[in-house]
Amino acid sequence: MSDHQTSADVLPRTSGREDPRTFLFRLTAIASLGGLLFGFDTGVISGALVYLHEDFHLTSVTEGLVVTSLLFPGATAGALLGGPIADRVGRKKSLVMAGAIFVISTAACALAPSLVILIVARIALGYAVGVASVVVPLYLAEMAPASQRGRIVTVNQLMLTAGLFLAFVMNAVLASLIDDHLVWRYMVGVALIPAVGLLLGMRTLPDTPRWYASKQMWSEARHTLQRAHLANRVEAEYRQITAIVEIDAIKGKVSAFATCRSQPWMKRLILVGIILAVAQQTTGINVVMYYAPTVLESSGLTRSASLIASATVGIAMIVFTIVGMWILGVMGRRKMMLLGFGGVAASHLGLLLTYLLPDSNLRSYLILLFMLLVTAFMVTFLGTTGFLVLSELFPLPIRGFAMGASLGGLWVANSLISFLFPILAERFGSVAVFSGFMLLNVLATLFAYRCVPETKGRTLEELEGELRDRYSGTVTERL
């Protein structure tokens, strides 16, 4: 028994406590409301935009500002600050604070009397989205047993796509029920319901055993492991966690920056994480999320038909996520990424060729088809692995910081692409834009082949040891 264990720590779990499977289901359902809000708040603007044009007389530039104010500086700041804050105050408290910001900023968006106030409120909303994008997968990955980590973390992705679908459906339903250009306020305001659920639900859950251990809260770490893991796995996992934390404690308490300076292999991992996160956005999936109704309406469909068609994209995203979760159980993360980036590149080739066709209903539906293919490859192979691999990739001393840096890169890329898409499409045409997406995804395929490690089937502590060996020394040659 190590000196930080007490007799109370090693007592067996008493009967009558919540079954670990029930506990994991409950915490996954509550925490992944952050993913639902992530999806809903980023997707709802696609339908609201067509009404905001009438209410606030948007130009192509102000349209880009409305969309990207949530992404940059909002979500970017949330991602960059959310990771370090989660390391300091805990994963749980970070999500409770994010839930409070979701509630306040959602109400402010729905009631905004002017364009300026709407943009400011969406910046605050974006901050909460950014925090959720970092901390939810981090929380789930640190809570889940190794054998269930892939499935549990990808529930967050399923909820994200469900949020997008809910946004598309609510947009279509509310547009048909309310014949008023102010209907966008109801579209945005619906998100108050899951926001309140996240705020109240997270208050009932513990923090993760890894975070408790990092703060020398050994009793809480063991107790949480006992709640989340089957009895025959608690001791082995507890020993792995304490061994890693004790090694870090011997080195002394230093900042994430100092840790990276003293251990260059961690810097290389962070660079891999940032590039991987940015590559998720060069798939062009955000064009589908934010501009699908606008693109389809401009291609010849009516407004109501374009909203219904975009809801079809939302249904497809849920189906593809479920398929991806199944594939995740039989295929490695790295191979899934290679298939995802390659398939997205081929789909963008189809899109740019379709834009060369003369205007017709067939052309409009072919555009929808290739948007669905982009969605299929992105969601099935990349959506299910992107946040999962990032949550597995980094060692405990820099996990929050590195997740924040990676997701910060993701949101910067998301912001730039979302802001520039309508401007570049108007100036250079859709063929040039989708050609750029195709080239970027070819490069992403090569990057995944050279640089992305396989993370499946190990505990986070086992992964830390393997990645230290892989990325230390002659890592550049191995990559």
Ranges of each domain in the chain: 20-478
Task: Please give the span between the terminal C-alpha atoms of the chain, in angstroms, as a whole number.
Answer: 41
Burial 177-196 (b: 16+ CB within 10 A, else e): eeeeeebbbbbbbbbeebbb
Evaluate whether the domain defined by 20-478 bears CATH number 1.10.3720.10. no
Ramachandran angles phi, psi of 339, nearest 5°: -65, -40
191: which 2 tokens?
A: 């998100």
Task: Collapse the DSSP code of 473 into the 3-class scheme (helix H, G, I; strand E, B; otherwise coil) and give the result.
Answer: coil
In this structure, are residues 340 and 377 in contact, taking their beta carbons and an 8 Å threshold?
yes
Residues above pLDDT 70, as percent of the chain: 88
Q: Using one digit for the tens of pLDDT, what is the confidence trace for 101-122?
A: 999 999 999 999 999 999 999 9
Is a pLDDT exceeding 50 seen at residue 7? no
Q: What is the average pLDDT value for the chain, to the nearest integer? A: 86
Average pLDDT over residues 409-420: 82
pLDDT for res 298: 60
438: which 2 tokens?
A: 């195709």
pLDDT for res 47: 81
Among 193-207, 298-312, 464-478, the least confident range:
298-312
In terms of DSSP H, where are the helices of 90-148?
A: 91-111, 115-143
Ramachandran angles phi, psi of 454, nearest 5°: -85, 130
pLDDT-derived band of residue 464, with 50, 70 and 90 as boundaries?
confident
Those residues whose C-beta lies under 8 Å from the C-beta of residue 271, and which sit 6 or more positions away, are none
Q: Using one digit for the tens of pLDDT, what is the confidence trace for 255-314?
A: 777 888 888 889 989 999 999 999 988 888 776 655 566 665 565 556 566 666 666 767
Is a pLDDT exceeding 50 seen at residue 328? yes
Task: Collapse the DSSP code of 205 into the 3-class scheme (helix H, G, I; strand E, B; otherwise coil) and give the result.
Answer: coil
